[in-house]
Each structure stands twice: as C-alpha cells, then as structure tokens.
Structure 1
C-alpha cells in the first residue's frame, strides 16, 4: 500500500478532513458518496508533496487500480438501479477527495512523454463522478503546454464529447473551454457543443459555461452562432444568461443578446 510521510492516502485525507467542512461540501455535492470536505489547498499541497517525493509512479499505480475498481462498481450500481435490484453500499465508492487528488497529481505531473501522459489522464477520466472532481483538473503545463501539443490534446478530448457518461462529457467541455475557446478552434469547439444531446444538468450547465467563455474571446462570432439556435432552448438561454452576467459586456450587447432568448417548453 502506498504511503507518504508514513501515512496512507486515506489516513492523510481523514486527517485533513478534520480542518475541512464536510457539511458544506456535502451540500455542494448532493447524492455524491464519500465527501469528506477536505480543503482544495490541502489537496493541492498533498499532490505537490507526492510529486516532490519522487514516489508519484507508486502513487499512480495504486490510484489507477482504485479508480478502475470504483468505475466497475459504479457501472454495476447503475445496472442494478435500472433493473430494480439491490445496490452496493456507498462506502464501496471510496472518498471523493481521493479522486480529486488523483486529478491534481496528474495536473502537476512532469510530462516527458505526451502519449504516456494522456493515457494516464484517460485512466483517470472514467472515475470522475462530480462537477468538482472534473473542474479541478488542468493539463500539466497549462495553456503553454497544450499550445505546444494542440493537435494531440484536441484529438484526445474529442471522443469524450460523444461519450455516454455525464462527467466524461463534462470533462471534454471543461477542457475545451479552458484551452480551445479561441479563434483557431472556435468553429470546431462550438460544433462539438451543438452536437451534445445528453440532458444531464451538469452537462447542460457546462455547455452554457463554455459558450459564455467562447463569447469572452470571440464575441461577434459566438453571437452569430447563437443566432442560429443550434443548442437546446434551455442551454441556449442559460448561455445567454451567463454572458449577460459578465461586467465586461456592454449594455447594448446585453440588449441584443436578450432578444436571442427562446421560449422553453416546460412540458
């Protein structure tokens, strides 16, 4: 079992949870099992310590094994729910913060082989089961690294746009808004957003957020795209709402955007 500073990862998380806020974080993550409430700065520091210790390979071997185990349990859980059978207890799904930590270690990974690194990320992505686990991740090296490997990264996230599971789709959308909401990829990115048909709230909200981010960088092009009504009405309107909430948008543009809102079928 992997240890750092003479403690297992679970021991670290349980200790850090003592100065966290479990109740508040559980409210932010309804129906997500294993929320300890560990503070994000504490998780970032633990991830940094793992990298600095030089034991990240050992850590990742265990983390990937656990991730695969939890994903298998979750798929069984989903199947049992559909069939009306009894389900596995929540404790089987581990701590949410362990999944967050896995993503944070990958965010700080020292990349020497792009293909190998992306494979490691691919082994983590299926374990994402909440908006916060998803949204905390960024590719190691940030925008500069992605710009240097733009083709590989775009090809990597592309299949996730058409995935079946909620947070795999959200992963693609969030990575897109972080790194591809810009003129060189705007048309490609918006086309992927328009093709998403998954109706989960956390997917639709991510798409609206992504469109708002596209507007920030390419306002005229994004406004023209919105006028084509390619998104479902609810997501379309939510994107406009998010854009209009920005203090960087002038009053006239906000009025123009308001005219693009569409009626939503509440039936």
Structure 2
C-alpha cells in the first residue's frame, strides 16, 4: 500500500463503511474503507501541506484511484489550491474519474468561488457532456455559485432544458430547482408553472421544496397543487 492508503486504513470504521455502502449503491463496496469525512479533510490538509513526504504529485497523477476515500482525498487536495489556473487544471484532470454523487458534490474550491464567472464557462460545457457526474457537477456550479448575488433568470431555462435518463442527473436537477424556489421564488416558480421540466424532475422538485425549511408554508401549499401525472 501507498503511504496515503496506509493512513486511510488507520482510520477505518467498519460500521461507517456499512453506512457508506448503503448510501452509495453505485460504488463497489470492496473499494470503500469506511473513513469519516472530517478525518478525510484533515488528512488531505496534512498531505497537501507536506506534499513531498506524501508524494502528492504522484498521487494526483495516479488516476483512477483504487479506493473510494482516495477520491475524496484527491478532491479535498484540489479544494486547497489557491491559484485558480492550477486548481482548474487539476480538477479537469480529475473530473472524468468522478464516478459517484458523494465525491461529485463535495468539491467546492475557494478558487472557484473567487473566479465563478470563469468556472461558469466550463459549467456550460459540462452540462452538455454524456458523462453523468460531469453533468451533475455542471448543475452543481449553477446551484452553488449562481443562485444568490450572481443569479441570472436565464440560468433557470438553461438547467430546465437538460434531459437525461440518469437518476443522479435528474436528482441534481430537482435539487437545483428546489433550491431556486427557496432563493429566487418569483423566477423559479415560473419554470414549475410552465411545466418546463420532465414530469419526474418536476414532481421531485416540488417534493424537495415542500420538505425544505427555506420555503414558506404558503409557497409549499401552492406547489402541492402543481404536481403532474408522470
């Protein structure tokens, strides 16, 4: 085993492995060690700060990784890169190897937030991909960086136009619109009223919005009357 793999097995939690296996049915359970995310973040920080000792460059180049948790470590190392160009270069190398929702949804580098308009250009391309988690990450960019002060109503139509047979794409699409309903109700509700989403995503959006603490009771009641027959 590599030094990083040895460190991961030192933090193995078999009960947590069972939990993660159930939570990530698309991941081969043999690749899951069972390490909790706070420990993964702490280890990634240690690895990044002591790169030579851990052979961090070799690790980042050794794709695909063997273990589920190694992908988290990879993601969390990228998050710490302050230089945008370096951060994006390493992320683009890693993105094709993301193969589950958990890793996909946890990579949010500060360098991306500070350069969100640059990242947006990539996101427009990612949502056109034929790879499930590339599309999912593209939608995540719109949700994470462009539903607050950088919001543009045109983005709603962009995400609404996505059509996929992939569960993990459709779930992210629904999550995006449920969040949009919480943050940008006046514009987002028009997408629901206009039935611009696929029936499954439409109803899942309403379900997630009605489960949210950020959506008012009045809005939840209104949404309940907008469900469609699949």
Shift of 1:221: 0.9
Q: TM-score, normalised by structure 2?
A: 0.90
Q: Does structure 1 residue 12 correspond to structure 2 residue 7?
A: yes
Unaligned residue ranges in structure 2 (runs of 5+): none
User: Are 1:106 and 1:140, in contact at CA under 8 Å, matched by a contact in 2?
Assistant: no
Deviations 1:122-173 (A, max 9, x none): 11111111111111111225xxx62x42321111222111111111111111
Equivalent residue number for residue 62 of structure 2: 66
Q: Does structure 1 residue 38 correspond to structure 2 residue 35?
A: yes
**Residues 184, 162 of structure 1: CA spacing in aligned structure 2 closer, same or farther, 3 A cutoff?**
same
Q: TM-score, normalised by structure 1?
A: 0.78
Deviations 1:96-126 (A, max 9, x none): 1101110011112232xx2332111111111
How many Å separate the matches in 2 of 1:53 and 1:15?
A: 18
How many Å separate the matches in 2 of 1:182 and 1:257?
A: 22
**Residues 151, 18 of structure 1: CA spacing in aligned structure 2 closer, same or farther, 3 A cutoff?**
closer
Stretch moving more, 131-140 or 49-58: 49-58
Deviations 1:52-75 (A, max 9, x none): 22549941x3233322xx3xxxxx
Please tell me the root mean square deviation across aligned C-alpha atoms, in Å: 2.2
Q: Secondary structure at the match of 1:240?
A: helix
Unaligned residue ranges in structure 1 (runs of 5+): 2-6, 71-92
How many Å separate the matches in 2 of 1:20 and 1:117?
A: 34
How many Å separate the matches in 2 of 1:30 and 1:180?
A: 30
How many Å separate the matches in 1 of 2:76 and 2:215?
A: 33
| Larger gyration radius, structure 1 or structure 2 | 1
Equivalent residue number for residue 178 of structure 1: 144
Deviations 1:24-79 (A, max 9, x none): 111111131211111101100011112222549941x3233322xx3xxxxxxxxx
Alignment map for 1:140-219 (pairs within 5 Å): 140-141=110-111, 146=113, 148-182=114-148, 184-219=150-185
How many Å separate the matches in 2 of 1:188 and 1:126?
A: 27
User: Are 1:21 and 1:37, in contact at CA under 8 Å, matched by a contact in 2?
Assistant: yes
